[in-house]
Structure 1
Amino acid sequence: MSTSAPDLRHPGVSSDAGVLESRLIEIPRTTFADDYWGRRALLSRGVSDFSDLFSAAAVDELISSRGLRSPFLRVAKDGATLPTSSFTSPAGVGATIGDQLDDTRLWRQFHDGATLVLQALQRTWAPIGDFAAALSSELGNPVQANAYITPPQNQGFDDHYDVHDVFVLQIQGTKRWVIHEPVFDAPLRDQPWTDRRASVAEAAATEPAIDAVLEPGDALYLPRGWLHAATAQGEVSIHLTLGIHNWTRYGVAEQLAQVALARLQDDPAMRSSLPMGEALPDDEVLERIREAMVAALAEADPNPGIERTRRSQARPAPLGPLAQHEAVRNLSRETNVQLRAGLDPTVDGVRLHTRIGWFDFSEADLATVRRLLDGAPLTVEEIGRPLAERLLAAGALVPALG
């Protein structure tokens, strides 16, 4: 697929203004990459109009009309998450699954001061899905989108930190954010704030780094570990939180260790048993094991494992089965098709790896596939009907837009 020209001082950071620079920050993206990414909070005032992404009407539609189930919503009040049974119920004949959102119960919870949290909106609300996919591509990290709907003068959660970076986008109303620097820098996913309640509470009582009321169009960036609490002001507040699930050096180390251990499985000496009667290795055996691990690590390549994990953390663009059926049924030499968005394709030899599986090609077909990777639509005649039919049937090609 076509990509923007890379910034040579910042590998992986595009020099063209994408959604990050055009809608989320008021400084150059290179300045953000150098001075803020993973380091400092950033408040950007009036940086964009987010009404195209989400709204109060979207909240009502999702809760009352979409048949969402409990994983897509949670409810918080007075710093605690309420039990799922307090806002779910079956939905009548033909829809008796018991964990569907109950709009009456949710209204009563909201009216009583609870915050509604619509989760994983990148899967349930198309404009947010497109936006999250674009931001994920720019940042090189998976993005999850949640919406927080808070009644006036209420706070859903006490001071805490997240284990991922976030962008906060104020959609409607106003919300006061009180932010403190970390008590624990760059926490990993298994290092939650609840492990440090006392330190968090102590830090929350000190002078904040930022104390600001966000208005519609404002955006706030918080690196993981930064403490925050937010309170709606005089009207209902709706904000989006874009959670950036950061790849870390520790994550790369995990991949290295997995590859090295897999290599050691093929070493008969490493598979051999310890001497009978000994539950622990002696110093000599332990040193040999260390040497073997160091050698395996030196030869380990973590990138294939990282690529597989990264692909599994997101989905390709939506695929309509009926539209795809019509495209296959009405295929002609003049039909324009293109590679499905969000496949995250990479070529390794004659093999194309994607989020929906891998494909092997002849050298001749691979040349055509590389043209498809550039992103421009091609006709069936240009691709060749057998290859076009194969990729359409697999869900890798789709009818071209427009």
Structure 2
Amino acid sequence: MVAAGPALRRCFGAAADRLAEEHWNARPLLVRAAERAAEGGRASVHDLLSPVDVDELLGPRALRTPFFSLVQNGTPLPRSGYTRRAVAGNQQLADLPDSERIAAAHAAGATIVLQALHRTWPPLQTFCSQLAEDLGHQCQVNVYITPPGAQGFKPHHDTHDVVVLQVDGRKHWTIHPPVVELPSKSQPSTRLGPDPVGGRAPVIDTVLEPGDALYLPRGWLHSARTTEDRSIHLTVGLLATTWADVLGDAVASAGAEDVALRRALPLPGALSPEEVKEFRAAAQRWLDTLDDDAVHRLAARRQAGAVPPEPVPVLAQDEAVRTLTAQRPLRPRRGTRARLTGGGETVDVVLPDRRITFPGWLRPALEHVLAAERTSASELAAVGLDPDDALVVLRRLLRESVLLPAGEQV
């Protein structure tokens, strides 16, 4: 059994440990807030987003489209009906939320959708980053605010897995098994016709209460409706890397290993049976050379790329570079995918877009810095680095945004 990470456990409590073996890509998992609280976890998710936060986002924070929209009976409403104009500097803006008109549309049955809040709301940004690290798959967050007695979308499936977190109010969910198992982006539920449920009995037919968490694999048909209460819920989209993605990564390098796969297609005309046979043989030869280590490397690269680079605190970073002391704690920046190569005369900190070169004798210190949750120049004495050299190394890594400040100076 794989032990779940902190963000996944935050959602599902002890049941998170069963997700990998029993539910992932297979069947839904529903955990009530009361169950999580009984295990010592948090019942509420208001620290991630609350009704007060929603009002702030639609008011003082002044989100711009497409970060918010309105939907009614599954149909997007025209943006001109709920946006306003304003001036920022010398720029005319025409896509800010008009809170008065949004309130009127919401009262008339429209669902408010806050999109991609993992990019704009710090608590969800941190949560999504941690969840991506737990799962090895990219994550995104939308928020749905549905008035009483309304339905945002008719029964449909998503082409990515989702985690639903009920923030406030209640919502009645009806869930049916998939018509298409694990659909890809090219298989949206719009292709299933007007009645994808087809009279089948639901697998889950329940009301989500505040703090409840639901995992749905992609392809599972679902619809949700409010009753006498409004509802706010988070939908965390899990943008899974598939084996087809890994195969695509592998195939991209095939031409470098076999000249037969680098040959151009013949000039226009029907391919001969011999040419098709030669291609299939070359592809099979290449596939036979793809060893287990290569597959592990390709999958690991995809999983490492699931965590986006953490934003750099510009002012705090500048201050840390200028005033770094031997006791100032630092930490690795999440999502940088930094790794070390070399170790003779030179050692490189390799990032996705560049290399940072150091003298080779610094490798033990760099290994310590990249692996430690927190470090400081004074702590690097344990790996044989004097304080002055340590400050030079750490200041360089701060300038390159490999490290970030880890709290106040002690």
- Counterpart of 2:92 in structure 1: which amino acid? T
Which of 394, 401, 408 is matched with 1:395 structurally?
401
Q: Is the 8 A contact 2:261 2:283 kept in 1?
A: no
CA apart distance, 1:302 = 5.6
Tell me what 1:7 maps to. Answer: none
- Counterpart of 1:184 in structure 2: which amino acid? V
Which of 365, 368, 372 is matched with 2:369 structurally?
372
Give secondary structure in 1 for the equivalent of 2:369.
helix
Tell me what 1:38 maps to. Answer: 25
Tell me what 1:126 maps to. Answer: 122
Q: Is the 8 A contact 1:159 1:204 kept in 2?
A: no
Q: Distance in 2 between matches of 1:67 and 1:191?
A: 35
Q: How many residues align?
A: 383
CA apart distance, 1:71 = 2.2
- Counterpart of 2:283 in structure 1: which amino acid? M
User: Normalising by the residue count of structure 1, what TM-score does the alignment of the two structures yield?
Assistant: 0.87
Tell me what 1:271 maps to. Answer: 263
Which of 54, 62, 66 is matched with 1:59 structurally?
54
Q: Is the 8 A contact 1:311 1:354 kept in 2?
A: no
Q: Is the 8 A contact 1:259 1:302 kept in 2?
A: no
Q: Distance in 2 between matches of 1:40 and 1:252?
A: 23
Determine whether 1:203 maps to 2:190.
no
Q: List runs of 5+ in structure 2 lacking aligned partners.
A: 37-42
Q: Distance in 2 between matches of 1:317 and 1:254?
A: 27
Q: Distance in 1 between matches of 2:402 and 2:265?
A: 48
Q: Is the 8 A contact 1:263 1:296 kept in 2?
A: yes
User: Normalising by the residue count of structure 2, what TM-score does the alignment of the two structures yield?
Assistant: 0.85
* Residue pairs, 1:151-300, within 5 angstroms: 151-198=147-194, 201-203=195-197, 205-261=199-255, 263-264=257-258, 267=259, 270-271=262-263, 274=266, 279-300=269-290
- Counterpart of 2:406 in structure 1: which amino acid? A
Q: Distance in 2 between matches of 1:191 and 1:353?
A: 38
Q: Is the 8 A contact 2:169 2:209 kept in 1?
A: yes
Give secondary structure in 2 for the equivalent of 1:75.
strand
Q: Is the 8 A contact 2:333 2:402 kept in 1?
A: yes
- Counterpart of 1:97 in structure 2: which amino acid? L
Tell me what 1:340 maps to. Answer: 333
Q: Distance in 2 between matches of 1:176 and 1:72?
A: 26
Q: Distance in 1 between matches of 2:303 and 2:84?
A: 35
Over 3 Å counting, the alpha-carbon distance change for 1:36 and 1:64 in structure 2 is same
Over 3 Å counting, the alpha-carbon distance change for 1:214 and 1:256 in structure 2 is same
Q: Is the 8 A contact 1:152 1:232 kept in 2?
A: yes
CA apart distance, 1:229 = 0.5
Q: Is the 8 A contact 2:4 2:16 kept in 1?
A: no
Give secondary structure in 2 for the equivalent of 1:395.
coil
* Residue pairs, 1:291-310, within 5 angstroms: 291-300=281-290, 301=294
Q: Is the 8 A contact 2:338 2:402 kept in 1?
A: no
Q: Distance in 1 between matches of 2:136 and 2:306?
A: 12
RMSD: 2.5
Q: Distance in 1 between matches of 2:265 and 2:186?
A: 33
- Counterpart of 2:271 in structure 1: which amino acid? P
Q: Percent identity?
A: 35
* Residue pairs, 1:310-389, within 5 angstroms: 314-349=307-342, 350-354=347-351, 357-381=354-378, 382=380, 384-389=390-395
- CA-to-aligned-CA distance 1:157-201 (integer Å, 9 cap, x gap): 111111111111111000000110101010112211112224xx1
* Residue pairs, 1:20-39, within 5 angstroms: 20-21=8-9, 23-39=10-26
- CA-to-aligned-CA distance 1:209-247 (integer Å, 9 cap, x gap): 111001112111111000111112222211111111111
Tell me what 2:39 maps to. Answer: none
Q: List runs of 5+ in structure 1 lacking aligned partners.
A: 1-9
Q: Distance in 1 between matches of 2:61 and 2:153?
A: 26
